[in-house]
Amino acid sequence: MEKGIFITDRESRTENKSSFWDSSYKNNYGLTLEPGPGILTLKKEFRTRNREIVRAVVRSTALGVYVMYLNGAEIGNDELKPGWTDYHSRVFENEYDVTELVRENNLFVAEVSGGWWSGRISFGVYGYKPCAFCGEIEIVYSDGTKEIVATDGTWDSTVCGPVLTAEIWEGEYFDARIPHASVTPEAHEWRKAIPFTDYSCRITPMIGQPVGVTGELEPVSSTVHSGVRDNGTTFGEIIVSRRKFGGECQTENLSRSEAVIFDFGQNMVGRPEITVISEPGTRIELFFAEMLNDSGDRSRGNDGPGGSMYIENYRTALSRNVFVTSGGLEKFEVRHTFHGFRYAEIRCDKDIRIISVRGKVIGSLLGESGTFSCDHPEVNALYSNIVWGMKGNYLSIPTDCPQRDERLGWTGDTQIFCRTGSYLCDNRDFMRKWLGDLRDSQEGFDGAYGDVAPRVLLGKEPNSAWGDAGIIVPYNIWLMYGDKTVISEHFESMERYMKFLERYGTEGAATAYGDWLCYDVTDKRFVSVSYYAYDAKLMALYSRLLGMPEKETYYLGLFRKIREHWTERYVEGDRLSADTQTGYILALAFGLVEGELKNAFITRLAEKIKENDYTLSTGFLGTGMMGRTLSECGLHKYLYSLLLQTKDPSWLYSVRQGATTVWERWNSYTRERGFGNVEMNSFNHYSYGAIAEWFYSGICGITPAEETPGFAGFLLRPTPDERTASEIPEGQRRINSACATYRSASGVITSGWTRYGDNVTYRFTVPKDTRATVGLICPDGKMIFNGADIEADELCGFRREGERAVFELGYGNYTVTINDPVKA
């Protein structure tokens, strides 16, 4: 930005909401979204010179979420800009080419709502301040001259509609009878804008991708209901007047005594776009839900009649849309908020005709970098659920959940899912940007990272596995993308964090969360000490990568010291006192044991899984590292048994309960008992979805290598489901084929295998200029390699690693058939 300053209107205000997480109420139909006075709107009318324009560019940002219009047309096709950064420190500048929109006489309008700056989601940490806009339009003429129309005191401002209320948690109230300032500016009263200076952030170039519409869904069914009938439960059940399935269901004549629930068939994040015909002044209200009440029974956690929308798990977030129509045929969609929902219910106070309903999916524009499928439909469903979790929770920042009164950058959730995220989409710059938010979270806290970033919860102490995200995320990004910048630009910050942790001796960070939401509790201090050791180990690696041998020695020393303390305190004979699945997973994942003891731990972990009847007992942490760790320890058969488990708790259990995204709890909903604890019951929480990393790295074997990060060289160690008949738990069957494609930083890698007859056939692609160290399970050393019968030891670089034949391959497509060890 060359010239623009922040400007606002004297009436732009933020209410001081003293209580952000008010436990005295939860979202319910008795609450209404009230119309406010409108939102901050800025206007500038300007003339261009009488010369040919070669280029016109808008550079802009806002304290709040903003939408801009030039001559009535919206500028840009991104959403919720400028996104969420720590407003104490920085706000992003956006840039748009508007050459096509600029004319001789121009009307520029920007509208700004509180968004992450001053909405309730900010928890008041940026103060209760007005919204503000800063921007400039640069016009370059063919004679080489340019002019800049920049925000200053000559701009006009007001607080006006049609967006009367806009709040991320609460929703948006839109009154179409109020003319839009970008079309009919004369309908509003304007005064001179005033400079806004009460901020501390710098305007910086945007890092990462903007938020945008990533897809569109159509409803799969509609249910019109009116009234409630007694069915012997607390709330009864809705009386359904008609139901429609498929393409026809979008069109509906809805009377004011009715409500219609549209099911998008998929828990998604974004907003509906509705097209309706109505009488002027009709009030149309949209409610959102991830689930429907199943019976009307309070004892099953229902909050309303059977078949109605289950909305109380949004807690204090109203998550509503209200549209007041101006009459006739109109299209509505909100622009200043987003919702997490599978169901949208429409109610109206006058009869309307609904012409169409679309679900616009919103998220950071990260694309999809991987595909995975196998011959097990429920695993494919789980994979799809995990992808949808990524799409909805990678929205400007990595969030815990997208629907209730949180949607925060919880650090633990972020580090747990980060590597999985890298397989599913290109999260390199997204995470680089977020690491900046994390650095900002240290300011004023002695170097301690926040539990959430941007830091809006002000607990002083970082918690283990949460604060430690600041050390762990860079590792994942470096490993997956081979980009050292993320380490070099973050190193000093990590050192500050490590310095902060010194105050706890060898205890590690605070223990508020531990193995969050686990079934079998792992000593929380054990978790902290383990993570602290891992931090030190990673710091030693970073020091080496950055060529700082002294620091490397220091951190290796620290690692050894913590490990010694850890061993003394937690190792009892050949077991851990933290004798849980998670206990052993952390010990093994972080390299805290070696040799015989390591083997003993692997055996014990296997026993723990078996004793637990091949179900999980892990929370966020154990589950997050389960795939990687069990795989590395050769326990892939156990992983298959856990993955294909359908009893509670397991990944497929929630699939069987109807999940279309990954849930916060293993039992967020069960057909047997109904809804889980409403205090924390999100149906779109990606942490447990971290297992998808193993779909790529274990099942299909596409694994990064520390020596050649970013897949410049990589491991290809596909691991078919080789459980023998006696090893397969009751009710399960083997996966017989799987295939993954991964658009890595070094090119597209594919890897798949199919079992047929007595053979397993592998197919893979090694991209140009890369090298794969392939390890195939091939005990007898015989294979058909691209059509030729060979002995494995004829392959380049052949060596044996247990049952695997390991060899080197360069660029090419390969088909290898091996005798199926299961059949041998």
Q: Classify 544 as helix, strand or coil.
A: helix
Contact present, 110 and 68 (Cβ < 8 Å) = yes
- Alpha-carbon span 667 to 648, nearest angstrom: 7
Residues 6+ apart with CB under 8 A from 525: 507, 508, 511
What minimum distance in Å lies between the beta carbon of 516 and ligand BGC? 5
- Alpha-carbon span 350 to 230, nearest angstrom: 27
| Contact string (CB under 6 A) for ligand BGC, positions 683-722, x = contact | --x-------------------------------------
Tokens found for residue 550: 């002294």
Give the interface segment with ligand BGC, choosing from 159-167, 350-358, 400-408, 468-476 (CB under 6 A). 400-408
Instruction: Decide whether 332 or 686 has the Cβ nearer to ligand BGC.
Output: 686
Residues 6+ apart with CB under 8 A from 338: 79, 80, 168, 269, 270, 271, 362, 395, 402
Candidate list 38, 114, 412, 624; residue touching ligand BGC; CB under 6 A: 412
Q: Which residues pair with 73 in a beta bridge?
A: 70
What minimum distance in Å lies between the beta carbon of 510 and ligand BGC? 12
Candidate list 66, 323, 388, 410; residue touching ligand BGC; CB under 6 A: 410
What minimum distance in Å lies between the beta carbon of 440 and ligand BGC? 19
What is the secondary structure of 68-84 as a DSSP string? EEETTEEP-SEESBT--
Candidate list 249, 401, 456, 602; residue touching ligand BGC; CB under 6 A: 401
- Alpha-carbon span 301 to 294, nearest angstrom: 9
- Alpha-carbon span 242 to 332, nearest angstrom: 24
- Alpha-carbon span 448 to 499, nearest angstrom: 9
**Residue 405 interacts with ligand BGC (CB under 6 A)?**
no
Residues 6+ apart with CB under 8 A from 377: none
On the CB side of 637, how many CA atoms lie within 13 Å of its CA? 13
What minimum distance in Å lies between the beta carbon of 419 and ligand BGC? 17
Angle (nearest 5°) at CA 100 between 97 and 104: 110
**Residue 614 interacts with ligand BGC (CB under 6 A)?**
no
Instruction: Decide whether 400 or 426 has the Cβ nearer to ligand BGC.
Output: 400
How far CA 492 is from CA of 314, 410, 471, 479, 556, in Å, comes to: 39, 22, 11, 19, 17
Contact present, 166 and 66 (Cβ < 8 Å) = no
* 501-540 binders of ligand BGC (CB under 6 A): 513, 516
Instruction: Decide whether 459 or 781 has the Cβ nearer to ligand BGC.
Output: 459
Instruction: Decide whether 45 or 679 has the Cβ nearer to ligand BGC.
Output: 679
Closest C-alpha among 347, 311, 338, 294 to residue 26: 311
| Contact string (CB under 6 A) for ligand BGC, positions 657-686, x = contact | -----------------------x----x-
**Residue 449 interacts with ligand BGC (CB under 6 A)?**
no
What minimum distance in Å lies between the beta carbon of 677 and ligand BGC? 12
**Residue 440 interacts with ligand BGC (CB under 6 A)?**
no
- Residue closest to ligand BGC, measured at CB: 400
**Residue 78 interacts with ligand BGC (CB under 6 A)?**
no
What minimum distance in Å lies between the beta carbon of 285 and ligand BGC? 27
**Residue 314 interacts with ligand BGC (CB under 6 A)?**
no
Candidate list 111, 312, 400, 429; residue touching ligand BGC; CB under 6 A: 400
Residues contacting ligand BGC: total by CB under 6 A: 10
Instruction: Decide whether 404 or 771 has the Cβ nearer to ligand BGC.
Output: 404
Q: How far is CA 787 from the centre of its chain?
A: 43
Candidate list 93, 258, 413, 552; residue touching ligand BGC; CB under 6 A: 413
How far CA 278 is from CA of 176, 260, 282, 328, in Å, comes to: 12, 16, 7, 5
**Residue 156 interacts with ligand BGC (CB under 6 A)?**
no
Instruction: Decide whether 12 or 682 has the Cβ nearer to ligand BGC.
Output: 682
Instruction: Decide whether 254 or 680 has the Cβ nearer to ligand BGC.
Output: 680
What minimum distance in Å lies between the beta carbon of 412 and ligand BGC? 5
What minimum distance in Å lies between the beta carbon of 413 and ligand BGC? 5
Tokens found for residue 529: 């000490």
Instruction: Decide whether 1 or 452 has the Cβ nearer to ligand BGC.
Output: 452
Q: Tell me which residues are annotated as active site.
A: 406, 664
Candidate list 312, 406, 437, 440; residue touching ligand BGC; CB under 6 A: 406
Instruction: Decide whether 325 or 403 has the Cβ nearer to ligand BGC.
Output: 403
Peptide bond just before 35 cis, omega within 30 deg? no
- Alpha-carbon span 534 to 415, nearest angstrom: 13
How far CA 408 is from CA of 120, 401, 451, 718, in Å, comes to: 12, 7, 10, 36
Binding site for ligand BGC (CB under 6 A): 400-401, 406, 410, 412-413, 513, 516, 680, 685
